[in-house]
Amino acid sequence: MSTSLIEKALQFATEKHKNHTRKNKEKSPYIVHPIEVCHILSDVGGVEDVEILAAALLHDTLEDTPTNREELIENFGERICSLVEEVSDDKTLSKQKRKDLQIQHALELSKGATLIKLA
């Protein structure tokens, strides 16, 4: 498994989320969440596809940071950007509407996006 893409995604996500914290009691650094998602996929789920693992690390960059589609494509390519887009919510919608759309679109997700969502 090539780790350079995963390392690049980790560095990118860490930088993008550097001022974000989790909504937990400890206010832990937000980057812990994408790392946990990647860990679940890799170590628990046996996922070896480095693009899926990289997308797992990046999965909240579009919806929670100023990152845009072009920046993801430039740095990580079309497939990874597409996976991130599939699992991203439109933050201009209400939380309930976002949840409704997640349920509505769940069966339309690619295998990679489904794995990321489930993790």
CB 30 within 8 A of CB 16: no
DSSP 65: S
Predicted model pTM: 0.91
Task: Please say if the pLDDT value at position 1 is more than 60.
Answer: no
Q: What is the pLDDT of residues 45-102, one digit of tens each?
A: 999 999 999 999 999 999 999 999 999 999 999 999 999 999 999 888 999 999 999 9
- Write down all domains in the chain, each with its CATH number in brackets: 4-118 (1.10.3210.10)
For the question of residue 63 being annotated catalytic, the response is: yes
Q: Is the pLDDT of residue 2 over 80?
A: no
Q: Structure tokens of 47?
A: 């996922």
- Which of 15, 36, 48, 63 is catalytic? The answer is 63
CA angle 29-79-89, nearest 5°? 50
**What percent helix, strand, coil does the chain show, rounded to 5?**
65, 0, 30
pLDDT band at 23 (very low <50, low <70, confident <90, very high): confident
Cα 48 to Cα 57: distance, rounded to the nearest angstrom: 14
